[in-house]
Amino acid sequence: MPSYKPAKGSPNAALWGATLGFFIGFGAVSLFGPTAAAFKTVMHLTPSMMGILVAIPMLTGSLLRIPFGAWVDREGGTRPFIILLSLALLGLLGLYTVLLTLYPDRLGPAAYPLILFLGALAGCGIATFSVGIGQVAYWFPIQQQGRALAIFAGLGNASPALSTVFLPWVTNRWGLSPAYLAYIRLGHNAWHFQFRHQGASVVDATQGAKTEGEELFPHDSAIEGLKLAARTWQTWPLVLLYFTTFGGFLALTAWLPTYGHELFHLPLGTATLIAAGFALFSSLIRIPGGIWSDRWGGEPVAVISLFCLLLGAAITSFSDTLFLSIPGLLLIAAGMGVNNAAVFKMVPQYVGKAVGSAAGWVGGLGAFGGFAVPPLLGWFAERWGTIGYARGFLVYVVLAIASLGLAAWLHFPEQKRTFSVKTSS
């Protein structure tokens, strides 16, 4: 291999840089959840319109994961990360400007489409997930990926909970720009991409990266990477599993303040703290979920966690007391967090030659649940009144049953994996 500049960075530095970038971008999940009741009052929103409002950041945050995740397989993660975070910052600044000038007296129903547009733009930061998954996966040895990806996703997913409490204070003290600068400083691409950017051929870059310890290598074409991931049948069960537990997590993080306020008549601040606790617990339990997946395999861990989700959703669907609903929500949070880790333990082992592209399909279509589910929850409330806020959890009962069937299918020993965990490329 020709001589090139020494590769920069390390797996741990890349992990923390990607985690920080994702943490900042992912905060948009709770953009409207804590304030939905205020928007309802001044804009005269129906429950279904509130469902769309709290979900709109997840529309771009989910669908943009597909092309940007594929881009990682071609470019590495640094540039896609910065573009998505910049778009999110524009959306947040636009929303701040609109609210500063119009709220409350001039913020009527006519402003609803504008608020949705700015929320969708702010949601671009949520799409950094698939970028970070690919970036981290290419840095770490296969045997350590369950832990590394769980740390990345678990700490990043804690953003909606922590940002609800701390982001205003952090922003007032330091502003948003230091977080972006910290990502740029830490978030180096894996060695393969660094050598490619210096002009190395694919063969030379791969050989040089192997000498540094890199084990996974991307397909050189983003489109071919997407096709490769799409042709792997295991990608599609993983999409539904992730739709159920990560899309479901996004939906509930945004919806729970409305649920607690409308069903139990809790003060909005209390309902928001319950939502923050749900998000934080589900996010942090993802880390041991990744360790368990490394130890016992993603498939059995997914089956157990989905049983936990099913039980919690059944309890919450028929509970009209906080005494029963809180344990139900804790079971849901645990099941979602652990299954999310199990899914992304399975992604590199099934689609090792196109991790970024597979993360785009699974993360993008899976996260679309965060946009699709809240309007359904709002429909239950419109159809059945106050108790409909509880009955809406039947959506999760149905999703959990379907996902359990697919997780069991993946676990069958006779099903052959399309790609071996051990690559020889």
Q: What is the pLDDT of residues 13-69, one digit of tens each?
A: 778 878 888 888 887 777 787 777 778 888 888 888 988 998 999 999 998 988 888
Residue 85 has pLDDT above 90, yes or no: no
Q: Which helix (DSSP H) or strand (DSSP E) does residue 22 occupy?
A: helix 11-26
Residue 233 has pLDDT above 70, yes or no: yes
Residue 129 has pLDDT above 90, yes or no: no
Looking at residue 62, its amino acid is S
Whether residue 57 has a cis bond before it, omega within 30° of 0: no
Q: What is the mean pLDDT of residues 133-151?
A: 78
Q: What is the mean pLDDT of residues 87-112?
A: 86
Residue 228 has pLDDT above 90, yes or no: no
Handedness of CA 259, 155, 210, 295 (dihedral sign): negative
Domain membership of residue 71 as a residue range: 11-411
Closest CA to 298 of 106, 128, 142: 142
C-alpha distance across the termini of the chain, in Å: 16
Kindly state whether residue 79 falls inside one of the protein's structural domains. yes
Closest CA to 186 of 236, 136, 225: 136
Instruction: Kindly list the distances between the CA atom of residue 10 and the CA atoms of 135, 137, 402, in Å, as whole numbers in the listed order.
Output: 12, 13, 40
Burial class (CB in 10 A: 0-12, 13-18, 19+), 44: exposed
Kindly state whether residue 327 falls inside one of the protein's structural domains. yes
Kindly state whether residue 356 falls inside one of the protein's structural domains. yes
Beta-strand runs (E) in 277-402: none
Rounded Cα–Cα distance for residues 173 and 167 (Å)? 10
Kindly state whether residue 423 falls inside one of the protein's structural domains. no
The tally of domains found in the chain comes to 1
Helix (H, G, I), strand (E, B) or coil at 107: coil
pLDDT of residue 165: 54
Looking at residue 230, its amino acid is A
Which of 88-92, 285-289, 340-344, 365-369 has the lowest average pLDDT? 88-92
pLDDT of residue 219: 54
Kindly state whether residue 417 falls inside one of the protein's structural domains. no
Q: What is the mean pLDDT of residues 269-288?
A: 91
Kindly state whether residue 62 falls inside one of the protein's structural domains. yes
Structure tokens at 232: 């792997």
Kindly state whether residue 326 falls inside one of the protein's structural domains. yes
Burial class (CB in 10 A: 0-12, 13-18, 19+), 181: exposed
Q: What is the pTM of this model?
A: 0.75
CATH number of the structural domain spanning residue 315: 1.20.1250.20
pLDDT of residue 141: 77
Angle between helices 128-139 and 11-26 (to 10 degrees): 170
Which of 66-70, 135-139, 217-221, 238-242 has the lowest average pLDDT? 217-221
Kindly state whether residue 420 falls inside one of the protein's structural domains. no
CB 243 within 8 A of CB 359: no
Rounded Cα–Cα distance for residues 18 and 163 (Å)? 17
Structure tokens at 280: 């934080």
